[in-house]
A = this chain, B = another copy of it.
Amino acid sequence: MYNVAVCGASGYTGSELLRLLTNHPFVKVTAVTSEKSAGGYITDMFPFLCHYEGLKYEPLVKEDLHKKADIFFMALPHGASQEAVAYFHKKGKKVLDLSADYRLKNPDVYEKWYGVKHNYVDYLKDAVYGLPELYRKDIALTDLVAVPGCYPTASLLGLYPALYYNLIEKDNIIIDAKSGTSGAGRKADYALSFSETFGSFRAYSVASHRHTPEIEQILSFISSSDIKVSFTPHLLPVSRGILCTIYATLKEKKSVAELVDTYIVAYGNEPFVRVLKKGRLPDIKRVGLTNYCDIALSVDERTNRLIIITAIDNLMKGASGQAVQNMNIMLSLDETTALKSVPIFP
Protein backbone atom coordinates (compact mmCIF):
# COMPACT_ATOMS: atom_id res chain seq x y z
CA MET A 1 0.00 0.00 0.00
CA TYR A 2 1.41 3.35 -1.05
CA ASN A 3 0.72 6.58 0.75
CA VAL A 4 -0.40 9.36 -1.53
CA ALA A 5 -0.68 13.12 -1.08
CA VAL A 6 -2.76 15.32 -3.36
CA CYS A 7 -1.51 18.90 -3.32
CA GLY A 8 -4.11 21.34 -4.53
CA ALA A 9 -7.16 19.24 -3.82
CA SER A 10 -9.87 21.88 -3.97
CA GLY A 11 -10.06 22.08 -7.77
CA TYR A 12 -11.48 19.76 -10.40
CA THR A 13 -8.32 17.80 -11.22
CA GLY A 14 -7.69 17.29 -7.51
CA SER A 15 -11.23 16.09 -6.79
CA GLU A 16 -11.14 13.85 -9.85
CA LEU A 17 -7.90 12.28 -8.62
CA LEU A 18 -9.51 11.59 -5.27
CA ARG A 19 -12.57 10.10 -6.96
CA LEU A 20 -10.38 7.72 -8.98
CA LEU A 21 -8.16 6.77 -6.06
CA THR A 22 -11.15 5.55 -4.02
CA ASN A 23 -11.17 2.61 -6.41
CA HIS A 24 -7.43 1.96 -6.30
CA PRO A 25 -6.55 -1.12 -4.28
CA PHE A 26 -2.90 -0.26 -3.65
CA VAL A 27 -3.08 3.34 -2.64
CA LYS A 28 -4.11 5.25 0.47
CA VAL A 29 -4.59 9.02 0.45
CA THR A 30 -2.84 10.35 3.54
CA ALA A 31 -2.79 14.08 2.90
CA VAL A 32 -4.63 16.69 0.88
CA THR A 33 -3.64 20.33 0.69
CA SER A 34 -5.41 23.59 0.01
CA GLU A 35 -4.26 26.97 1.18
CA LYS A 36 -7.71 28.53 1.24
CA SER A 37 -9.52 25.59 2.80
CA ALA A 38 -6.79 24.50 5.22
CA GLY A 39 -8.32 23.13 8.40
CA GLY A 40 -11.59 22.19 6.77
CA TYR A 41 -12.83 18.70 6.01
CA ILE A 42 -12.63 17.58 2.44
CA THR A 43 -16.18 16.20 2.77
CA ASP A 44 -17.43 19.70 3.53
CA MET A 45 -15.99 20.96 0.26
CA PHE A 46 -16.93 17.85 -1.72
CA PRO A 47 -19.71 15.90 0.00
CA PHE A 48 -19.51 13.23 -2.69
CA LEU A 49 -16.01 12.25 -1.49
CA CYS A 50 -17.48 10.55 1.59
CA HIS A 51 -14.83 7.87 1.17
CA TYR A 52 -12.45 10.40 2.77
CA GLU A 53 -14.59 11.13 5.84
CA GLY A 54 -12.37 12.70 8.47
CA LEU A 55 -9.58 13.85 6.15
CA LYS A 56 -8.74 17.53 6.55
CA TYR A 57 -7.12 19.97 4.17
CA GLU A 58 -3.73 21.21 5.32
CA PRO A 59 -1.57 23.99 3.96
CA LEU A 60 1.28 22.88 1.75
CA VAL A 61 4.14 22.92 4.28
CA LYS A 62 6.57 20.84 2.35
CA GLU A 63 8.87 20.17 5.29
CA ASP A 64 5.99 18.36 7.05
CA LEU A 65 4.25 16.99 4.06
CA HIS A 66 7.13 15.03 2.61
CA LYS A 67 6.95 12.68 5.59
CA LYS A 68 3.34 11.83 4.98
CA ALA A 69 3.44 10.22 1.57
CA ASP A 70 5.45 8.24 -0.96
CA ILE A 71 3.71 9.65 -3.98
CA PHE A 72 2.78 13.28 -4.60
CA PHE A 73 0.17 14.41 -7.08
CA MET A 74 0.63 18.12 -7.65
CA ALA A 75 -2.60 19.76 -8.87
CA LEU A 76 -1.48 23.33 -8.24
CA PRO A 77 -1.75 26.29 -10.61
CA HIS A 78 1.05 26.84 -13.10
CA GLY A 79 4.00 28.55 -11.44
CA ALA A 80 2.92 27.50 -7.96
CA SER A 81 4.14 23.97 -8.54
CA GLN A 82 7.83 24.57 -9.35
CA GLU A 83 9.29 24.73 -5.90
CA ALA A 84 7.32 21.99 -4.17
CA VAL A 85 7.90 19.58 -7.05
CA ALA A 86 11.64 20.21 -6.83
CA TYR A 87 11.58 19.70 -3.07
CA PHE A 88 9.70 16.40 -3.11
CA HIS A 89 11.77 15.20 -6.04
CA LYS A 90 14.99 15.94 -4.17
CA LYS A 91 13.61 14.03 -1.19
CA GLY A 92 13.32 10.99 -3.44
CA LYS A 93 9.55 10.95 -3.66
CA LYS A 94 7.60 9.96 -6.72
CA VAL A 95 6.07 13.14 -8.08
CA LEU A 96 3.35 13.57 -10.70
CA ASP A 97 2.92 17.22 -11.60
CA LEU A 98 -0.38 18.09 -13.30
CA SER A 99 0.70 21.70 -13.82
CA ALA A 100 2.69 22.89 -16.82
CA ASP A 101 5.79 23.64 -14.76
CA TYR A 102 7.89 20.66 -15.82
CA ARG A 103 6.47 20.00 -19.27
CA LEU A 104 8.56 22.36 -21.39
CA LYS A 105 12.21 21.41 -21.69
CA ASN A 106 13.31 24.89 -22.68
CA PRO A 107 13.02 27.29 -19.72
CA ASP A 108 12.96 30.30 -22.05
CA VAL A 109 9.93 28.97 -23.85
CA TYR A 110 8.32 28.34 -20.46
CA GLU A 111 9.02 31.87 -19.32
CA LYS A 112 7.77 33.36 -22.56
CA TRP A 113 4.40 31.58 -22.50
CA TYR A 114 3.78 31.38 -18.76
CA GLY A 115 5.25 34.71 -17.73
CA VAL A 116 7.30 33.31 -14.84
CA LYS A 117 10.93 32.35 -14.62
CA HIS A 118 11.79 28.71 -14.09
CA ASN A 119 13.94 28.44 -10.96
CA TYR A 120 14.59 24.71 -11.07
CA VAL A 121 16.04 24.27 -14.52
CA ASP A 122 18.27 21.42 -13.38
CA TYR A 123 15.27 19.26 -12.68
CA LEU A 124 13.63 19.86 -16.05
CA LYS A 125 15.83 17.20 -17.60
CA ASP A 126 14.72 14.68 -14.96
CA ALA A 127 11.06 15.17 -15.78
CA VAL A 128 9.47 12.70 -18.17
CA TYR A 129 6.51 13.82 -20.27
CA GLY A 130 3.77 11.54 -19.05
CA LEU A 131 2.12 10.43 -22.25
CA PRO A 132 2.32 6.64 -21.83
CA GLU A 133 1.66 5.89 -25.49
CA LEU A 134 4.93 7.67 -26.36
CA TYR A 135 7.06 7.50 -23.23
CA ARG A 136 5.95 4.43 -21.29
CA LYS A 137 9.49 3.10 -20.78
CA ASP A 138 10.81 6.41 -19.50
CA ILE A 139 7.85 6.79 -17.19
CA ALA A 140 8.55 3.39 -15.68
CA LEU A 141 12.06 4.49 -14.77
CA THR A 142 11.54 8.02 -13.55
CA ASP A 143 10.44 9.53 -10.27
CA LEU A 144 9.24 12.78 -11.82
CA VAL A 145 6.44 12.91 -14.36
CA ALA A 146 5.06 16.03 -15.99
CA VAL A 147 1.48 15.01 -16.74
CA PRO A 148 0.50 16.38 -20.19
CA GLY A 149 -2.08 19.10 -20.66
CA CYS A 150 -5.58 18.20 -21.81
CA TYR A 151 -5.37 19.73 -25.28
CA PRO A 152 -1.85 18.35 -25.91
CA THR A 153 -3.01 14.84 -25.01
CA ALA A 154 -5.87 14.93 -27.51
CA SER A 155 -3.68 16.59 -30.15
CA LEU A 156 -0.59 14.44 -29.80
CA LEU A 157 -2.41 11.11 -29.78
CA GLY A 158 -4.11 12.20 -32.98
CA LEU A 159 -0.93 13.31 -34.74
CA TYR A 160 1.72 10.93 -33.49
CA PRO A 161 1.35 8.06 -36.00
CA ALA A 162 0.90 10.44 -38.94
CA LEU A 163 4.15 12.20 -38.11
CA TYR A 164 6.05 9.15 -36.94
CA TYR A 165 5.30 7.30 -40.17
CA ASN A 166 5.99 10.43 -42.17
CA LEU A 167 2.55 10.56 -43.76
CA ILE A 168 1.94 14.29 -43.59
CA GLU A 169 3.62 17.57 -44.41
CA LYS A 170 5.19 19.16 -41.37
CA ASP A 171 4.38 22.76 -42.08
CA ASN A 172 0.62 22.82 -42.38
CA ILE A 173 -0.88 21.40 -39.23
CA ILE A 174 -4.01 22.97 -37.77
CA ILE A 175 -5.67 21.89 -34.55
CA ASP A 176 -9.21 23.14 -33.99
CA ALA A 177 -10.03 22.15 -30.41
CA LYS A 178 -13.22 22.31 -28.37
CA SER A 179 -13.38 21.80 -24.61
CA GLY A 180 -16.04 21.59 -21.92
CA THR A 181 -16.02 24.21 -19.17
CA SER A 182 -14.32 22.12 -16.50
CA GLY A 183 -11.12 22.59 -18.52
CA ALA A 184 -11.09 26.18 -17.29
CA GLY A 185 -10.79 24.95 -13.72
CA ARG A 186 -12.92 25.65 -10.68
CA LYS A 187 -13.58 29.35 -10.95
CA ALA A 188 -16.24 31.78 -9.83
CA ASP A 189 -16.39 33.92 -12.93
CA TYR A 190 -19.18 35.73 -14.78
CA ALA A 191 -18.04 34.43 -18.14
CA LEU A 192 -18.20 30.85 -16.88
CA SER A 193 -21.50 31.25 -15.03
CA PHE A 194 -24.33 29.01 -16.08
CA SER A 195 -26.55 31.89 -17.18
CA GLU A 196 -23.94 33.28 -19.57
CA THR A 197 -22.54 30.00 -20.89
CA PHE A 198 -25.89 28.28 -21.49
CA GLY A 199 -26.53 28.34 -25.23
CA SER A 200 -23.11 29.84 -25.86
CA PHE A 201 -20.17 28.70 -27.99
CA ARG A 202 -17.05 30.70 -28.63
CA ALA A 203 -13.33 30.55 -29.35
CA TYR A 204 -10.78 31.93 -26.90
CA SER A 205 -7.01 32.49 -26.73
CA VAL A 206 -6.87 32.34 -30.52
CA ALA A 207 -3.27 31.89 -31.71
CA SER A 208 -2.05 32.45 -28.17
CA HIS A 209 -2.98 29.47 -25.97
CA ARG A 210 -0.26 28.17 -23.66
CA HIS A 211 -0.69 24.59 -24.76
CA THR A 212 0.72 25.50 -28.18
CA PRO A 213 4.44 25.19 -27.29
CA GLU A 214 3.77 21.95 -25.42
CA ILE A 215 2.17 20.42 -28.50
CA GLU A 216 4.95 21.71 -30.73
CA GLN A 217 7.71 20.42 -28.47
CA ILE A 218 6.50 16.82 -28.65
CA LEU A 219 5.61 16.96 -32.35
CA SER A 220 9.11 18.27 -33.01
CA PHE A 221 10.63 15.41 -31.03
CA ILE A 222 8.56 12.87 -32.95
CA SER A 223 9.45 14.28 -36.34
CA SER A 224 12.99 15.44 -35.55
CA SER A 225 12.22 18.83 -36.98
CA ASP A 226 10.92 22.17 -35.88
CA ILE A 227 7.16 22.02 -36.05
CA LYS A 228 4.80 24.92 -35.65
CA VAL A 229 1.04 24.43 -35.46
CA SER A 230 -1.99 26.67 -35.42
CA PHE A 231 -4.04 25.85 -32.36
CA THR A 232 -7.50 27.31 -31.65
CA PRO A 233 -9.41 26.37 -28.50
CA HIS A 234 -13.16 26.82 -28.11
CA LEU A 235 -15.48 26.61 -25.10
CA LEU A 236 -18.28 24.02 -25.36
CA PRO A 237 -21.44 24.30 -23.25
CA VAL A 238 -20.88 20.94 -21.52
CA SER A 239 -18.98 20.25 -18.32
CA ARG A 240 -16.56 17.63 -19.64
CA GLY A 241 -14.96 16.58 -22.90
CA ILE A 242 -12.46 17.65 -25.52
CA LEU A 243 -12.79 17.08 -29.22
CA CYS A 244 -9.93 18.01 -31.57
CA THR A 245 -10.35 18.30 -35.30
CA ILE A 246 -6.88 18.19 -36.81
CA TYR A 247 -6.03 19.11 -40.38
CA ALA A 248 -2.84 18.11 -42.19
CA THR A 249 -1.71 17.66 -45.78
CA LEU A 250 -1.01 14.11 -46.90
CA LYS A 251 2.39 13.59 -48.50
CA GLU A 252 1.00 10.86 -50.71
CA LYS A 253 -2.48 9.71 -51.48
CA LYS A 254 -3.69 7.23 -48.91
CA SER A 255 -7.03 5.59 -48.36
CA VAL A 256 -8.75 5.84 -45.01
CA ALA A 257 -8.42 2.07 -44.69
CA GLU A 258 -4.63 2.25 -45.07
CA LEU A 259 -4.40 5.06 -42.57
CA VAL A 260 -6.59 3.27 -40.05
CA ASP A 261 -4.32 0.24 -40.39
CA THR A 262 -1.26 2.35 -39.74
CA TYR A 263 -2.83 3.84 -36.64
CA ILE A 264 -3.91 0.44 -35.39
CA VAL A 265 -0.35 -0.79 -35.76
CA ALA A 266 1.01 2.32 -34.07
CA TYR A 267 -1.23 1.93 -31.08
CA GLY A 268 -1.01 -1.87 -30.91
CA ASN A 269 -2.32 -2.95 -27.55
CA GLU A 270 -2.66 0.47 -25.99
CA PRO A 271 -5.35 0.04 -23.36
CA PHE A 272 -6.76 3.54 -23.69
CA VAL A 273 -6.54 4.41 -27.38
CA ARG A 274 -9.36 3.30 -29.64
CA VAL A 275 -8.88 3.77 -33.39
CA LEU A 276 -12.39 3.84 -34.81
CA LYS A 277 -13.49 1.90 -37.86
CA LYS A 278 -14.06 3.87 -41.05
CA GLY A 279 -17.41 5.61 -40.84
CA ARG A 280 -17.49 6.01 -37.08
CA LEU A 281 -16.68 9.38 -35.56
CA PRO A 282 -15.73 10.24 -31.97
CA ASP A 283 -18.17 11.92 -29.60
CA ILE A 284 -17.12 13.43 -26.31
CA LYS A 285 -20.11 11.67 -24.74
CA ARG A 286 -18.72 8.28 -25.75
CA VAL A 287 -15.48 8.86 -23.82
CA GLY A 288 -16.99 10.80 -20.91
CA LEU A 289 -15.84 9.54 -17.50
CA THR A 290 -13.41 7.13 -19.16
CA ASN A 291 -9.69 7.24 -19.79
CA TYR A 292 -10.13 6.50 -23.49
CA CYS A 293 -8.92 8.57 -26.41
CA ASP A 294 -11.04 7.83 -29.48
CA ILE A 295 -9.46 8.56 -32.87
CA ALA A 296 -11.08 8.69 -36.31
CA LEU A 297 -9.39 9.32 -39.63
CA SER A 298 -10.92 10.84 -42.74
CA VAL A 299 -9.40 11.87 -46.05
CA ASP A 300 -10.62 14.85 -48.02
CA GLU A 301 -9.54 13.56 -51.42
CA ARG A 302 -10.47 16.78 -53.17
CA THR A 303 -7.87 18.72 -51.18
CA ASN A 304 -5.57 15.81 -50.25
CA ARG A 305 -6.05 16.56 -46.61
CA LEU A 306 -5.99 14.17 -43.68
CA ILE A 307 -8.60 15.03 -41.05
CA ILE A 308 -7.96 13.44 -37.67
CA ILE A 309 -10.64 13.70 -35.01
CA THR A 310 -9.91 12.78 -31.40
CA ALA A 311 -12.01 12.83 -28.26
CA ILE A 312 -11.11 12.53 -24.59
CA ASP A 313 -12.55 13.43 -21.21
CA ASN A 314 -10.46 16.43 -20.22
CA LEU A 315 -10.45 15.51 -16.53
CA MET A 316 -9.68 11.83 -17.20
CA LYS A 317 -7.25 11.12 -20.07
CA GLY A 318 -6.71 14.88 -20.18
CA ALA A 319 -5.56 15.17 -16.55
CA SER A 320 -6.32 12.98 -13.54
CA GLY A 321 -6.98 9.69 -15.31
CA GLN A 322 -3.72 10.03 -17.17
CA ALA A 323 -1.95 10.91 -13.91
CA VAL A 324 -3.20 7.69 -12.33
CA GLN A 325 -2.16 5.77 -15.46
CA ASN A 326 1.33 7.22 -15.07
CA MET A 327 1.43 6.29 -11.39
CA ASN A 328 0.43 2.74 -12.21
CA ILE A 329 3.33 2.53 -14.67
CA MET A 330 5.78 4.03 -12.19
CA LEU A 331 4.70 1.42 -9.62
CA SER A 332 4.77 -1.47 -12.12
CA LEU A 333 1.08 -2.09 -11.54
CA ASP A 334 -1.47 -3.05 -14.13
CA GLU A 335 -1.74 0.21 -16.03
CA THR A 336 -5.53 0.17 -16.03
CA THR A 337 -5.94 -0.17 -12.27
CA ALA A 338 -8.74 2.13 -11.06
CA LEU A 339 -9.29 3.28 -14.65
CA LYS A 340 -11.62 0.64 -16.07
CA SER A 341 -14.92 2.32 -16.66
CA VAL A 342 -17.56 1.60 -19.23
CA PRO A 343 -18.80 4.71 -21.04
CA ILE A 344 -22.16 6.07 -19.98
CA PHE A 345 -25.23 6.02 -22.20
CA PRO A 346 -27.26 8.11 -22.54
Contacts and interface: CB of A to CB of B under 8 A. Distances in A.
Interface string A251-284: 0000000000000000000000000000011111
Interface in A185-244: 186-190, 192-204, 206-207, 228-230, 232, 234, 236-241, 243
A174 interface: yes
A176 interface: yes
Contacts of A245: 176, 203, 232, 234
Contacts of A311: 202
Given A186-B195, A188-B189, A200-B284, A300 B342 contact: no
A188 B186 CA distance: 11
A34 interface: no
Interface stretch (A43-51, A53-61, A83-91, A326-334): A43-51
A228 B48 CA distance: 35
Interface string A289-306: 100000010111111010
Interface residues of A, number: 78
A343 interface: yes
A115 interface: no
B182 A344 contact: no
How many of these chains are in the complex? 4
A203 B342 contact: no
A247 to B, nearest CB: 5
A12 B346 contact: yes
A181 interface: yes
Contact of A243 (B234, B281, B285): B234
Interface string A142-176: 00000000000000000000000000000010101
